[in-house]
């Protein structure tokens, strides 16, 4: 099994360097087993956002890459839950934090927007503002 770095996935998706894109495609298509870590996916989303990709384009890219036939994801449900919440309006990092948190926990934050969006999309575990006292 190989774990592919963010830059390899970016070349494959953006094709912004034709030679590297071809090499990345060859690796992704010919390796028997490929994997990524949550931090690689988080960085991938961040760079795609900085490259002016839309949320819809990013969701499509994530589903494509994570759905490759030879892709093996540790705890795939975490990734797909985070993608779903991101698609529904959560920031991807916030969605990933939630998806990686124990279901019985409460995620505490100072981010009011995060709390509101998490409630709107029925994300879990619950997200609450840090108490003032």
Domains and CATH numbers, the chain: 2-129 (3.40.50)
The whole-angstrom separation of Cα 52 and Cα 47 is 9
List, as one string, the DSSP characters of 44-85.
HHHHHHHTT--HHHHHHHHHHHHT-TTB--TTHHHHHHHHHH
pLDDT computed for residue 59 by the predictor: 98
pTM of the model: 0.92
The whole-angstrom separation of Cα 108 and Cα 88 is 21
- Distance from the first to the final alpha carbon of the chain: 49
pLDDT value at 74 more than 90: no
């Amino acid at each position: 099994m190989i774990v592919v770095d963010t830059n390899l996935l970016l070349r494959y998706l953006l094709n912004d360097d034709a030679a590297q894109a071809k090499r990345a495609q060859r690796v992704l298509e010919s390796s028997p087993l490929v994997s990524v870590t949550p931090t690689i996916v988080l960085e991938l989303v961040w760079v795609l956002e900085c490259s002016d990709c839309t949320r819809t384009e990013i969701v499509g890219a994530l589903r494509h890459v994570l759905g490759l036939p030879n892709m093996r994801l540790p705890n795939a449900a975490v990734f797909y839950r985070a993608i779903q919440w991101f698609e529904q309006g959560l920031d991807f990092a916030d969605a990933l934090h939630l998806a990686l948190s124990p279901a019985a926990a409460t995620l505490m934050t100072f981010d009011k927007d995060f709390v509101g969006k998490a409630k709107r999309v029925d994300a879990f575990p619950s997200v609450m503002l840090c108490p003032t006292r």
